[in-house]
Structure 1
Amino acid sequence: MKIIKLNAIDSTNSFLKDLAQNSTLENYTVAITEDQTKGRGQQESKWVTAPLKNLTFSIFVKFNKLRINQKRYLNFAISLAIYDALLEKKIDKISIKWPNDIMAANKKICGILIENTFIGDRIKNSITGIGLNVNQEIFPEYLKNVTSLKLEKGFDFNLNNLLNDILIKIQEKIKLLENNEFDLLENSYLNVLYKKNIPTMFKNCQNEIFIGIIYGISTDGKLQIQLEDDSIKEFGIKEVSFL
């Protein structure tokens, strides 16, 4: 595994994408920065992080037989890797909020952005960006419901050790993916899915508020919500939010 350490960069995902276009990258190449100035989240949202306090890195992974219609399992694998790493740190009440935010109780502690390159009907490779709040204690006021490992546990974490722990977990979960352990990944993901089986208030993209129960994940990765009339409706990213 090759780890590229950067003092500052706009986006580690963008850095690895440019590198992959201009050279042959070793599998599991990692780019990590002390200061990410233009971090990106889902649907072009921003990921804001304080320099030298957190983990902001991206990892390049090659695939030989993973099909596009199986990409939800990649999301399950990466999310579970972060979840398992934090579980070992005894972070209380952690869960995965669809599609791949990591929560500590009701506060976001980690964001994940997966960007894939396709060839035919297969995923050729993926670049996964991970932003984990580690030792940061003060966040901008406009960032609501966020937390960090230090806020949860009360002490500083060693960033290098934490990175190594997470990379080991990612490799373990990718191995499950490559061994076609799809049911195991899906069941493990659903077992720790935020608010699953709990009546919850949602808001759709028309700003309509409704009550539903998270039922599962569809074959194309959409969130399935059981409505009050027992029907199941599917929502894509940014089509529904929690209240």
Structure 2
Amino acid sequence: MNSDWQLIKLKSVDSTNRFLKDFISETRARNPVVCITEQQTAGYGQQNRRWQTNADSAIFSIAYPLSKKMPIPGLFSLQVASLLHKSLTNLTSDALYLKWPNDLYNSEGKVAGILIEQVIDFDYQALIIGIGINRSPDQLTASASNVSNFCIEQLIEHFLQQFKHDGFLHFSPFALLEYWNKHDLFTIEESVHLITKEDLNTRESGEYLGINPNGQALIRINGKITPLSSGQSSIRKVSLSVTQ
């Protein structure tokens, strides 16, 4: 592991994201910190949904300190997902797909999720990037799947190297969108279900039109094109089977 990164290993913790938010708020770390755990007892994902894991899951979070009031690019969430995709496909050779805004899927279902949060305290700012990857199908939800087994520390090493090589906050939007389009879970004009955070049970149908330069998913509903921002709503395949 690069000496610029501090590594914390825990047997068990409620949430690696929550642990790092508290840790850097107290220490005000100036270099990135990585926290790995074997067991996460109260993990959470987007909109505080429970983060389902098992004993074989790879669970870690990265605290990345920023310069004061550094703006976060609109495509940042997609960039993190693309870097994880590159690292996982390099280690496992699995066929994986990117699902807007920052999930990874294989042909059977979701294999990895990412939760990005911020710590902002007067003159201190940091990003917290939580990652959970399924390495075994045991005790997962019906819509989840898993990747081939890999060493978590090798993955983190590769992932952090990607940060340096491809850029973390300073990257080419064109190159990112080109990579995303190549590995997108959805195809252009594919029928999808739109699920809003206000009503998780109602699934409105639309057609997927890709990602715009602001990182928003474009959905055509009844002839009207609607841009979706991360956190507002999510999109689902009409069928779980991926045919590419």
TM-score normalized by the length of structure 1:
0.81
Distance (Å, rounded) in 1 between the aligned partners of 2:124 and 2:142:
35
> For 1:60-109, what per-residue CA distance to the aligned partner results, in whole angstroms no more than 9, with x for missing partners?
112337414x2x322122101111012212102x1111111101124101
Asked whether the 8 Å contact 1:2–1:29 carries over to 2, the reply is: yes
1:153 alignment counterpart: none
1:222 alignment counterpart: 216
Asked whether the 8 Å contact 1:2–1:26 carries over to 2, the reply is: no
1:130 aligned partner, one-letter code: I
Of the three residues 44, 55, 62, the one matched with 1:59 is 62
Asked whether the 8 Å contact 1:82–1:170 carries over to 2, the reply is: no
1:54 aligned partner, one-letter code: S
2:13 aligned partner, one-letter code: I
Q: 4+ residue runs of structure 1 moved beyond 4 angstroms?
A: none
Distance (Å, rounded) in 1 between the aligned partners of 2:32 and 2:47:
24
Task: For residue 17 of structure 1, report the CA deviation from its aligned partner.
Answer: 0.3
Q: How many residues align?
A: 226
Task: For residue 216 of structure 1, report the CA deviation from its aligned partner.
Answer: 1.6
Asked whether the 8 Å contact 2:10–2:37 carries over to 1, the reply is: yes
Give the unaligned 5+ runs of structure 2.
Answer: 239-244
2:28 is the alignment partner of 1:24? yes
Sequence identity, in percent?
24
Task: For residue 201 of structure 1, report the CA deviation from its aligned partner.
Answer: 2.9
1:104 alignment counterpart: 106
SS in 2 for 1:3: strand
Change (3 A) 1:12 1:119: closer
SS in 1 for 2:59: strand
RMSD: 2.6
Task: For residue 46 of structure 1, report the CA deviation from its aligned partner.
Answer: 1.0
1:212 aligned partner, one-letter code: E
2:197 is the alignment partner of 1:197? no
Give the unaligned 5+ runs of structure 1.
Answer: 151-155
Task: For residue 228 of structure 1, report the CA deviation from its aligned partner.
Answer: 5.2
Of the three residues 73, 85, 88, the one matched with 2:87 is 85
Distance (Å, rounded) in 2 between the aligned partners of 1:74 and 1:118:
17
